[in-house]
Structure 1
Amino acid sequence: MQRDPYKFFRVEGRELLEQLGQGALALDKGGAGAAVVPRLLRLAHTLKGAARVVRQAGIAERAHAIEDALAPWREAAGRVPGDAVNGLLAAVDAIGAQLAALDAPAAAPGAQAAAAPDATGQRTLRADVAEIDTLRDGIAQGHAQIAALQRGTAAALQARGAAARLLDLLAVPAAPGGVAARALAEQLATLLGSGARTLQGATEQLDRTLRQVGDGAEQLRLAPAAALFGALERAARDAAVALGKPLQFEARGGDVRLDADLFAGVQPALVQLVRNALAHGIEAPAQRAASAKPAAGRVTISVERRGAQVALACSDDGAGFDLDAVRRVARQRGLLGKDGEGSEGGETLGRDALLALLLRGGVSTAGRLTEQAGRGVGLDVARDAVERLGGRIELHTEPGRGSTVTLLLPLALAAVDVLRVECAGRTLQIPLRALRRVRRIEPHDIGAGAQGEQLVDDETAIPFAPLAELLGFEGAAAAAPPRAAPGAPPRTALVIDAGGARAALGVTRLAGAIVRCVLQPLPAPLPAHPLIAGASLDVDGRPLLVLDAEGLVQAALRRQAAPAMAAPPRRPLLVVDDSLTTRMLEQSILESAGYDVHTAATAEDGLERARHQAYALFLVDVEMPGMDGFGFIETARADPQLRHVPAMLVTSRASAEDRRRGAQVGAQAYVVKGEFAQDDFLRHVRQLAGA
């Protein structure tokens, strides 16, 4: 493999350029030279030395020029002139271009593109992600080795059993030498037992360690939103300078950590939105003065999680979208219909329809063609990027007050702080951001208001709902504190605030400390659930659900508004699937529909349960360790006790051959997880379970 002489220099150079660019923006905001320039001089000096080590004289000369340009402002107590800041940023861009031009080894043609910085000097994240993925692959191989160790443990245990049987045989009086043979067998049994216990303990410890390392690797894959802000602020500043508009740039939510691939996919869209805000939104200084607005226009980037989505918004305090101009341009371009009139396309076209036209593309309200505007492609860039990532765009505008463009994207991965709670025997996770307080409550703390159960918090009555009831768990009624039962044990209430509303949720108890977990979306075959944001893995590799705070608050409010109804009958069903996440999701869906659900992780365990409990329906996965789903149904059909229980296969296998085999063994329905539709799933269940 050809050696890459610039591998480490490119990484160091990008990091130094990023810091130099951030320092330049700090100076541009009015930072005193004495507070900022010395650090920039050190960065430029470090870059110059590193460039000389790898014989990049051009980069070293430009770094030296930065030192010369900054030196006069080392002791400046006031603001560094704008021309000096412009020169520093131009030098950063030039060095960035030189770094991007450094050739990577020919054996890895994709590495250069992955590692190259963008025009602003913002450090990209793709190379880091590739290295982390390599780490994750190594961890996966480690787990495969653990599986081999586990098989070895099982073999050792079998040998121990053989030794025990040998001891039993030797207990019978035998020929001379039997005593020695017995002693040898005893020694063998002792050694095998000790070795098996040691091997088993070491295997379990290694497995836990690898899972912790895997979680750490997932955390490394995440990047803080603040990594985007430098490039966006630079883009805003360049556009403001080009248009002659003073600017105040703000960024919020920099601590939100999300998948680096998402950032890489959405950054160009956000850069374009920032430029649009300057070109179309922020007024010229004279217009702002006439409107009694501050001279500097404000552009704000905000990042926040919304359940299973992340919202990235670009707001400005400008004039808002000129919808009359949108209507006029759309009419000129023939986008309003044949005559441009009438309810579909004329003067009565509403605000939402006009905003939708903007998102369609090709509509520009700029008065002239510039580098910043005039081609009608501004929102196209954002729309295309969001559609590639499976998201959507929301537009909001107020005439004279500004506009907001929000990109709503599904989460791939996200780091989230959660509080673990126990509810109806299950461990669940509540996002810490939405949690206002945890309270111990007595039965008399829950009152009956006109709209339902309430809890007084901060002298305000807020909706109260048992969490188990909202999620449809078995035994939900027991989670609500009985109001009139003296001496009843206290319960725990979580007061959460989301979506501008508050509610209290009753849980059994707190199940652990606050932890940071890597939130992952639910597996693709499983349907979205309004109360579930995703899942994370604990140290033992078990999936734990992370709940959606806004969905929980809305469910508590709906519970108050809904009239009291008798609980639907619960019919006993058995879900057999080796995936804990799938079992929990199917159980949640079915219990929400009124069924009593039992679960089993293997076909053998499911058959054992079925022989001791009458079920209305079996829901069985195909691919499981040991006996598969086909074997489960064949065995059930051969058992007089079980042959009349209907069975449904719920599997990721979609071939015609698998479907035929399912019908041959006696499955009455076949549901493919990749084609999962909750309504159809429940319809099959109702038909087969008889309710």
Structure 2
Amino acid sequence: MTPEQMRDASLLELFSLEAEAQTQVLSAGLMALERNPTQADQLEACMRAAHSLKGAARIVGVDAGVSVAHVMEDCLVAAQEGRLRLRPEHIDALLLGTDLLMRIATPGDAAGEAAVPGFLVQMAALLDPSAVFAAPLPSASAALAPVLEPAPAIIVAEPPALLAEPQDDASAPRKPGKRGGEGGERVLRVTADRLNSLLDLSSKSLVETQRLKPYLASLQRLKRMHGQGMRALDGLKSQLEGSGQSAEVLEALAQTQRLLGETQQILQQQAAELDEFGWQASQRAQNLYDTALACRMRPFADVLTGQSRMVRDLGRSLGKQVQLQIEGDKTQVDRDVLEKLEAPLTHLLRNAVDHGIELPERRLLAGKPGDGVIRLCASHQAGLLILELSDDGAGIDLERVRRSIVERALSPAETVAQMSEAELLTFLFLPGFSLRDKVTEVSGRGVGLDAVQHMVRELRGSIELTQVAGQGCCFHLEVPLTLSVVRSLVVEVGGEAYAFPLAHIERTLDVPADAIVQIEGRQHFWHEQRHIGLVSANQLLNRPAAQGEERSIRVVVIREREQLYGVAVERLIGERVLVVMPLDPRLGKVQDISAGALLDDGSVVLIVDVEDLLRSVEKLLTTGRLERIERRGSAVKGVPRKRVLVVDDSLTVRELQRKLLSNRGYDVAVAVDGMDGWNALRGEDFDLLITDIDMPRMDGIELVTLVRRDQRLQSLPVMVVSYKDREEDRRRGLDAGADYYLAKASFHDDALLDAVVELIGGAQG
């Protein structure tokens, strides 16, 4: 809506805007007065807000609004003058009146005016000390829900526009809180689609200005080549003058030098002008983008509208006194993030009031103040919005959690008894998990936390729960400040650029090719005291494998809760801040991809959907179709190393043999038992099998028997290494088809290596 349209807007629309602003003043002030009924500044602010709404309602002819605002003003004036002390029932009534005023000012809400007579009767009873409170007031929280429902397609930008002429009168409308700027800023209503288009255009403009850089570089290179040509002509002139050339030749050469000198001046001037233009254009484009992005940013307080009131009303309905304390309410966040945060925050706040905060008598017995406190803190950190929602309630009964897990058959009692606190708390995020014995209107702590977690993950964020028994719980949320841009690591896979959001990246590594081991048919590498599964980005993203000899593999380590995965890529291009460009909806959901973006040179990069990618990994693992990453460079070029499979259920023996053989130059894979070894043999080619005898699932004798029955493997050399050194055990191994039997009792480094050389020769033959 343009400023002219705003000036021409109907009085009813202006009244609705003023009602929205003034009812927020009333709600905040009344809740402050509930804690301290004699605060003069809050009494004055609330009285002025009611007075302003009374005058505005009279101007637009809304008699119901005049009546409600008038009786509220009378009540507040009486409190100011000391004729009335505000009690909780007065605050309840005034908050209900606040809701009624907003409903009366909302076009098409006839129910608001219908409730006015009953409200006036209740207020009259409260204002007359001799009157009996005639009837119970409706729940303030019941009246709250339908009051404020902002139109989803409308947002508020910061550029100034005339909403109403400034007034010096104290009853002048205040600037809207949620829909207006702070202080004296005026607002202009802009549709979300137009603002998104502006941001899209500004981001493309920013990218386009970067394309000037290669042109400028080419011009600078041309200027250098031109200077070299000038110097070459000077040398040629010296040679010609010494060789007695005619005057015509020397004059033609001089003319050429003059022309080149003029073009050199033009080149220098054009290069300088292009450099200046490119710098200014990039600055303007950056400012344009920053301004467009800032228009999408709103203070975190916008998502808190009504939350303090909701906490107060819900607490009253449960017989509790609860206060919501907010820090960092001016923290700037993208409006899309704010919209999606409202539902999960509301749920967490309701849970905190219902199950976190105890009844006043229980709090007093525990040595706590009777009033409970919920704290919500918002801050910026490394491009993320950090939210901490904590309460000073009773915390979570971990024994009840254990019993609930066992009763629901989610885990055996023996396992549950050994679980840590963090492991137990993760069960609260499972669908349908609850500590509440019966269903109530207010969901118990745990019910719906799966939905909260899902909504936070949709924002590419994370949520973590901690608690201290008897002292309360804390939810720690991390979400991006904006969904319009994303900090990413750009990598190359199959010759194309892909971006991994930094929020999902644990670290990047260069993993030596010989550090990759095979366990249970999957590739792993050892890092910081744990095995990390390794998968190929080429297979996940359906890109062709790169050709070349590399002695190390570049790995992006991504985290999903406590699980780490290593994704092997071809090249790490670097960290970039990318402007998210949604994919065409006609494409539907593209597997493993969330959006696109443009790099500085104008080339396209696809942004990886990490959660979808991890689902693809799990699917490949369960179907057994995960491809092995070729460890290029682990062999001398043109001379492949011989491959040995070591099968042993002892980690110590396995690693000892692997290191011995690797140090001697062999390419070694390992398996944890006979079944794992059999799967490896069927999927890959080896030059030698070294196996133990006593192993779970499938012992060494069974494994050797299967090898000798398989047409492809029957000629594979097999060595048995066992603690059993009895003749009958040796005979069993050799009868099954082993070519060599080595007892661990007499085992030493040279004995194993000598036996391997005897069977298959050196590592490179």
TM-score w.r.t. the length of structure 2 is 0.46
Which has the higher Rg, Structure 1 or Structure 2? 2
